[in-house]
Amino acid sequence: MPFHPEQPFPAAYETAVTEPVPFAAATAVPADVADPPQSVGPATKLAYGIGALSDSVKTFGFTTFLLFYYTTVLGLPSALLGLAMGAGLVWDAVIDPLIGHLSDRTNVRFGRRHAFMLPGAFCAGVSFIAVFNPPAGLSHGMLFGWLMTTSLILRSSNSLFMVPYAALGAELAPDYHERTSVAAYRAAVIMVGTLLTTMAAFLVYLPRTTAAADDAKFLRDSYASLGDALGLVMIATALVATIGTLHTRHRLAPPLDTEVDATIRSTVAEAFRDSSFRTLFASNCLSFMALAINAALAFHYLTYYGRIDTAGVTTYMVALYAGGLAGIGVWLRVSRHVEKHYVYALTTMLTGVVISSGYWLVGEGRFFGPGAVWVLTIANATVGFFGAGNVVLAPSMIADLSAQDERRSGRRRPGSFFGICSLGQQLSAGVAVLMAGVLVDRFAGLVPAQAAQSAATVERIALLSNVLPAAILFAAGLLSLRYALRRQDFGTRTAAAQQS
């Protein structure tokens, strides 16, 4: 069951500090209590949330269609596609933390976050269009070069927008619970927007048949038109967030004086000395990798193993985001009464359990057999419901870690924190696509540009797309239980205390 991205053992919370603010002074009057944060209006939250669609649309297009398009339609060997995606790993290791670090230290009239977001908004959409529109007649080597070049540009420009964008969300709402509210708005927009994008993709650009009675999912022009549409959506939604939150730039405090001599190397090193940051980083990377593998092979799974037509695929995909939308409100409320990391761990593991059902319950020789659209639809809605917990809570927990770091170290660097986490997500996605490409080629034995595959290949595609991601998600959930930051670390009263 594909889910896009878009993420205990009590221990003393530890953090690395440089020129630390005395701990007693930092905790005697908690910031969340002493200085009530400015409220964030619904319109601002909504405008901010819309910006997340730029990344979610990119992720949806990449993970759902790219592998199928380049291998089955264009005929590029899966291993070469995986290599093209993996080539961006080293670049991501540099660009994401660097952008976050620079946006933390930039102090310009246009706003230190918005100054990066604006150019990133345009470049990401344009480069996405280029990925899905390679020139006709390219050899395998030239097609590989086109994909690698355009995807590297896309990775860079997407980071230019998304890393400062994520940091902006943390700064808009410095309150412990308000950070989760902002994240919930963002998640709700992602679910609604991606649901509409999914419907448009399958009903408009990839219908079951065309006027010539051909299956659109095997036609090159279908993906080229889809890439154009999604690229324009990326530009439009990113601009809405940039312009719609521009009025908040004066509320964002300038960089602190203590940050002047900070280097990106020292910032990254200090972040990873924090046990809770390491835990969340590793867990989020594993979750992102699992979901990316699942999504990258979803089209293969539904085409060859599930054997459902385009109408069924549309219903299946819509159910995912409808379930996710329902889950957002539930997990937002639950997180006000239960520690965030408990909710994050539970929903991550349950997502994995339900994803695995796509292998055990349907398919040739299984209880429901192939073509069981209603079973897959219910299961995918459940995946969306539980997966919403990860989408809401992961950015909120990163923002919490950034806020705690500022109180203890005296440095304001949410951009660096989100940049490092973005690096992890990008690396995980790259590794995921690389793994999926190599495994579907070497382990499953997929024959490129061929509509029919052997029974053994179909069975192994289902293992790779459902069971492998489920195992990784379960490991990610267990790992997240080591996260040690608690709400009382911010002096935030519990709901029960507030009622009394």
Structure tokens at 256: 């602190």
pLDDT at 347: 97
Query: Within its chain, how far is the Cα of 448 from the centroid?
Result: 28
pLDDT at position 415 is: 85
Longest CA–CA span in the chain (Å) reads 74
Total domains, the chain: 1
Amino acid at 222: S
Q: Tell me, rounded to whole angstroms, the distance of Cα 443 from its chain centroid.
A: 27
- Residue 208 has a pLDDT of 57
Distances (CA, A) of 277 to 182, 388, 419, 472: 21, 21, 13, 19
Residue 7 located in a structural domain:
no
The answer to whether residues 50 and 113 touch, using CB atoms and an 8 Å cutoff, is no
Q: What is the pLDDT of residue 13?
A: 31
pLDDT for the residue 344: 96
- Judge contact between 96 and 163, C-beta under 8 A: yes
Whether residue 326 lies inside any domain: the answer is yes
SS3 400: helix
Full residue range of the structural domain in which residue 99 is found: 23-494
DSSP label at 219? -
Give the end-to-end CA distance of the chain in Å, rounded to a whole number. Answer: 44
Question: Residue 225 sits in a domain of what CATH number?
Answer: 1.20.1250.20
272 part of a folded domain: yes
440 falls within a domain: yes
pLDDT digits (tens, 9 = 90+) for 118-152: 999 999 999 999 999 999 989 999 999 999 999 88
- Euclidean distance between CA atoms 432 and 63, whole angstroms: 10
Residue 1 located in a structural domain: no
pTM: 0.72
- 352 and 471 in contact (C-beta within 8 Å)? yes
The answer to whether residue 268 is domain-embedded is yes
Whether the Cβ atoms of residue 82 and residue 436 lie closer than 8 Å to each other: yes
Per-residue pLDDT, 233: 94
Phi, psi of 106 (to 5 degrees): -80, 140
CA pair distance 235, 231, nearest whole angstrom: 6
Tell me the C-alpha distance between 336 and 332, whole Å: 7
- Which residue positions in the chain have pLDDT lower than 50? 3-37, 212-213, 257-260, 492-500
Report the pLDDT value the prediction gives residue 38, as an integer from 0 to 100: 57
* Element containing residue 439 per DSSP (H, E): helix 414-442
Helix (H, G, I), strand (E, B) or coil at 34: helix
